[in-house]
């Protein structure tokens, strides 16, 4: 699904089904098209981190993340493209981070 289509679907739910709502939807979509690309907001906590996950089924997967939050049951990643990734730790054998927190 394209970003334009995703944006349109989300806005159709939020905006009223009136002429004014349709005009606003068209204006927002056209502004998004003019921008041409999605800007990812970075702040001072953003870092370039490689996260490697070994799943219980043996699959090894790597992610490039800007931010990471590790909880008791969930590993949350903000990926380089600005998307979020939630990894349930009950399905993970092990995971590693590079660089580690003491290697800044």
* Mean predicted confidence (pLDDT) in 20-31: 72
Q: Is residue 16 part of a domain?
A: yes
Instruction: Based on the fold, state whether residues 99 and 74 are members of the same structural domain.
Output: yes
pLDDT tens-digit series, residues 69-96: 999 999 999 998 889 999 999 999 999 9
* Mean predicted confidence (pLDDT) in 7-16: 70
Name the residue range of residue 28's domain.
3-35
**In this structure, what CATH number is given to the domain that contains residue 78?**
2.30.30.100
Higher pLDDT, 82 or 9: 82
Average pLDDT along the chain: 79
* Mean predicted confidence (pLDDT) in 12-33: 72
Query: 8-38: string of b/e by CB count within 10 Å (b at 16+)?
Result: eeebeeeeeeeeeeeeebeeeeeebeeeeee
Is the pTM higher than 0.95? The answer reads no
């Amino acid at each position: 699904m394209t970003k334009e289509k995703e944006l349109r679907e989300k806005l159709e739910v939020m905006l009223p089904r009136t002429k004014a709502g349709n005009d606003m939807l068209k204006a927002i979509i056209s502004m998004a098209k003019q921008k041409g690309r999605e800007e990812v907001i970075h702040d001072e906590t953003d870092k370039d981190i490689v996260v490697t996950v070994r799943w219980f089924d043996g699959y090894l997967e790597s992610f490039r993340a800007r931010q990471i939050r590790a909880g008791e049951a969930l590993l949350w990643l903000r990926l380089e493209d600005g998307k979020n990734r939630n990894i349930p730790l009950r399905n993970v054998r092990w995971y590693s981070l590079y660089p580690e927190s003491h290697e800044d």
